[in-house]
Amino acid sequence: MTGPNQTSPEQLPRINRQWFDWFAWYSRKYLARHFRAMRLLKSDAQRAGPDVPLVSYMNHASWWDPLVGLLIAKEFWPNRNHYGAMDREALESYKFFEKIGFFGVDRGTPRGAVQFLKMAQAITSSPANALWMTPQGRFADARERPAELMAGLPQVLSRLTSGVVQPIAIEYVFWDERLPEVLVHLGTTREIASLSRDRSTCQLELSQLLTTAQDELQVAAMQRNPDLFETLIDGGEGMSSIYGWWRSLKLSWKRMPPVSN
């Protein structure tokens, strides 16, 4: 039951599954054109199951984060309804995003904070849903430590009694090819009920979870070893393949019989 100042689940944006799947397909193709690969760190960390409300939160390293998050959602929780906040004015200009789970809030205002908390509570009232957040609230270098989070995420979680939080670390790095790599690590989940009810303490706990995931990803990224990762998207041939092609071309040229006049 919802009170007079609460948002009911029926008032959530109605996700069009065909549009969501199409945009995920398009995003996959788009990333494949701009990155050498998107890779997931192999890990024993337990991922959130399908039977509890899910709150996923990521570090905010780049403009690419929403597309990467969308593909993670599609890959690991394909049957959930995925939601995220967007500036209300921007959403008015791009209504399409409502069809794939974005809801509008007046960012940077007290009213916007209330809007977000109401929507977040409605989203997390069902295990069929997932809420996605970038709680750093700004673009931040992936090496920045600790991961400083704004107060919105602890406020959301303080209203919940069940569900899990899923920290997700993302890096964009250059290895040995012309195009960069997208590296992702799904960190260790945490039961929301096990988090401190004190918001300041909860904020520190969430920061530590994300920082740990980022540290683990950083160590793997520095090794430049694709075998440590599962490849989710292969962007195709890189510069090493071009060099191989060029060597083959030169070898073929040398083997050609001389041209007689």
Q: Enumerate the domain spans of the chain.
A: 9-255
Q: What is the end-to-end Cα distance of the chain in Å, rounded?
A: 92
- What's the residue count for the chain? 261
Torsion angle defined by CA atoms of residues 208, 214, 218 and 221, in that order, rounded to the nearest 10 degrees? 160
CB-CB neighbours of 203 under 10 Å:
22
- Phi and psi dihedrals of 7, rounded to 5? -95, 130
- So what's the pLDDT on residue 51? 81
Tell me the Ramachandran region of residue 163: left when phi exceeds 0, alpha when psi lies from -120 to 50, beta otherwise: left
Question: Which whole-number Å values give the CA distances from 105 to 16, 126, 164, in the listed order?
Answer: 20, 21, 24
- So what's the pLDDT on residue 156? 87
- Alpha-carbon distance of 233 to 21, in angstroms, equals 16
- Phi and psi dihedrals of 85, rounded to 5? -85, 150
Q: Give counts: helices (H), strands (E), the chain.
A: 7, 9
How big, in percent rounded to 5, are the helix, strand and coil portions of the chain? 45, 20, 35
DSSP structural state of residue 97? G
How would DSSP label each residue in 150-203? -THHHHHHHT-SS-EEEEEEEEEE--SSSS-EEEEEE---EEGGGS-SSHHHHH
Q: Are 22 and 99 in contact (CB under 8 A)?
A: no
The structure tokens listed for 134 are 């970038």
H or E stretch covering 74:
helix 65-76
- So what's the pLDDT on residue 150? 86
Q: Are 33 and 228 in contact (CB under 8 A)?
A: no
User: What is this structure's pTM?
Assistant: 0.85
Nearest to 231 by CA among 198, 189, 183: 183
Domain 9-255 indexed as CATH 3.40.1130: yes
For each of the chain's 261 residues, which pLDDT tens digit applies? Answer: 444 455 556 578 899 999 999 999 999 999 999 999 999 999 987 777 778 899 999 999 999 999 999 999 999 999 999 999 988 899 999 899 999 999 999 887 888 888 888 999 899 889 999 999 998 888 888 988 988 888 889 988 888 878 999 999 999 999 999 999 999 999 999 999 999 999 999 999 999 999 999 999 999 999 999 999 999 999 976 555 555 555 665 566 666 566 555
Q: Are 137 and 150 in contact (CB under 8 A)?
A: yes
